Amino acid sequence: MSTPPGIVATPYADVPAALVEELAAAGLDPEAVYAAVVAALAEDLPGDRGDVTSRATIGADAHGSAVLAARQPGVVAGLGVAALVFTYVLGHDVVVADRVADGTRVAAGDVVMRVEGPIRGLLCAERTALNFASHLSGVATATAHWVDALAGTRARVLDTRKTLPGWRALQKYAVRCGGGVNHRFSLSDMAMVKDNHVIAAGGVLPAYAAVREQYPDVPVEVEVTDLDQLRVLLDAGCDRILLDNMDTATMAEAVRITDGRASLEASGGLTLARAREVAETGIDFISVGALTHSVIVFDLGMDLEESS
């Protein structure tokens, strides 16, 4: 994008090494995150006018600080991405301090980050930084609710590929921040034999066998809708099976039949209110598309601090 007045547009090579290392250690591609930040800011800063409101109302030399704070309890995520937004806009003119670690549980009113620098730049970066952090904190918070509901059972909550296009790596990172487990990232990471594959292949066993033959080193999970299909797959050596839209009693029977020979995942229309009941069947995983496709944005806000 063209560089609007007052925006540094920090090159990737000038992003602080500590921030790059933090993103990489979190399992993210720092260059991809940087590109996402640049693209997001381009939506707010087309052309060469910049932030017309801040330019009209705030002096070019005005300097100040602001706090980003939680307005509800939950789990924060994406604060490193927010820091990158401020760094891109302000370069070495911004100081980011008091940033809590992603995955931290916070209460309403807790400060999660402070930023200091030219006020025009702080306000220019504000919404983009909050968009990243609020959305990802929403994913982390939703995941933490499921983790809490499953506490004391063997079940772990899984995400799915039902992610916002272009946001998959970030959303799956936020799931990890909330204590959840990532399912496959792409169609090539793992074979997932679902109902349409079963129909096309002529049954669960032919579908499973075809994947095993062509991709012997790729993990395979097969979806079943009844206990007969489960038995067939267990006899064939399938070690990961998804129980689709089963009631609680049927899932409990599936756990009994399986007797540890495969990991079992429950999926299909599961709700937080039912989570504990399902987990207590002895299931290994519960997959929840809503962690990413229907997330409620976490309420974060940024407020300038009054100068003393």
* Residue 172 falls in the annotated catalytic set: no
* Residue 194 falls in the annotated catalytic set: yes
Q: How far apart are CA 115 and CA 86, in angstroms?
A: 8
Q: How far apart are CA 137 and CA 163, in angstroms?
A: 15
Active-site residue, from 22, 116, 223, 284 = 223
* Residue 265 falls in the annotated catalytic set: no
* Residue 228 falls in the annotated catalytic set: no
278 neighbors 257 (Cβ within 8 angstroms): no
194 φ, ψ (degrees, to nearest 5) = -110, -175
Give the contacts of 258 (CB within 8 A, at least 6 positions apart): 230, 234, 241, 264
Active-site residue, from 194, 212, 261, 274 = 194
Give the contacts of 244 (CB within 8 A, at least 6 positions apart): 195, 223, 224, 225, 267, 268
Active-site residue, from 44, 110, 244, 299 = 244
* Residue 127 falls in the annotated catalytic set: yes
Exposed e or buried b per residue across 8-39, where buried means at least 16 C-beta atoms within 10 angstroms of its C-beta: bebeeeebeeebbebbeebebebeebbebbbe
Q: How far apart are CA 141 and CA 177, in angstroms?
A: 9
Active-site residue, from 161, 162, 168, 231 = 162
Active-site residue, from 105, 114, 127, 274 = 127
Dihedral of CA atoms 52, 56, 62, 66 in degrees, nearest 10, equals: -50
Active site residues: 127, 162, 194, 223, 244
